[in-house]
Every structure is written in structure tokens, then in C-alpha cells.
Amino acid sequence: MRYYIYKDGNVMGPYEPNQLPQFGLTSQTQVCIEGANQWLPATNFPEIAPFIPKEKADGNKGLIGFIASIVALVAQWIVWENGIPFLGELLVTVIGIIGLINCIKGFKEKNKTLAVIGLILNIIGLLWSLFCYICLLGFASIKGIGHMHSRGLF
């Protein structure tokens, strides 16, 4: 049995099944059996299925971004409570940026829920980091970090 394929606006063929891989078939490539007049997705033909590359499953960038956002918020709280100044804030910011990048990439995935929640958490965490940097820089230049910590500010 030979097949026609419809690709890039052109009808091509007929071809033997073993010739089809060179055309970059996808599961949605339209295929018609020689002598028929009905076009169907390539997945409707079991004899062609071995020649269709497996499509990637939906990614997990949204999940990674969500988890990184939670880690950044928890780390932010730990840094704030324990008075770990600049290095701690820098680490939290880096984790937050990793989360932010993955949340943005997560918007290309089917399930955007975790990406949206992670993005909101991440924005809150990054704004908090910015506030902490401003406090650290402002108070450190006036009174010194040791004085801030003894007063419970950091």
C-alpha cells in the first residue's frame, strides 16, 4: 500500500511507508491511501506509526518555577529571621530569578496554573528581596549591620 502526504501546502507521493520518515511526519500530518480520497492524520494508520517520531510530553518548567519560588520565599524568611545580610539576600535573589525564568517558560506548557502561582509568589519574593536590599544598604550605611541585627531589624 502506498501513501500520499500533505505537507507545507503540497500533496506529495505516493510513497511506500519506509520512504515517509524523510518527510518529517508528525502525528497530525495529513495522509491519504493511494486510490482513496479521504485525508486523515498520520496516527490513523498503524502501519505508518513506527515512522512518526515521538512528540515530547508537556514540560515541567511551570512546576520547577513554582518550587523555586517557594524555596526563594522560605529562604527569604530564613535570611530575614537569622540576619544573614548580603550573601543570603544574593542567594535568595538568584533562586528567585531561576524560579522566574522557569515560570515564564512554563507559560508555553499546557498546564499554566503552577506557572501563574509561581510567578505571583516569585514577584512577591523579589519585591521583598528588593525591600531587604534597600533596608540593608540604607541602614548599613547609617548605623552598621551589627547595630541593625542587635535591634532585631535583620
Instruction: Name the average pLDDT for the chain.
Output: 79
Q: With a cut of 60, say whether residue 29 has pLDDT above it.
A: yes
Please name the amino acid found at residue 60: N
- How far apart are the C-alpha atoms of 120 and 66, rounded to whole Å? 9
Q: Alpha carbon 20 to chain centroid distance?
A: 32
- pLDDT tens for 2-19 read 999 998 899 999 999 889
**Helix axes of 61-82 and 113-142: crossing angle, nearest 10 degrees:** 30
In percent, the amount of the chain with pLDDT more than 70 equals 78
Least Cα distance to 125 among 69, 67, 56 occurs for: 69
Output the pTM of the full model. Answer: 0.48
Cβ-contact 133, 80 below 8 angstroms: no
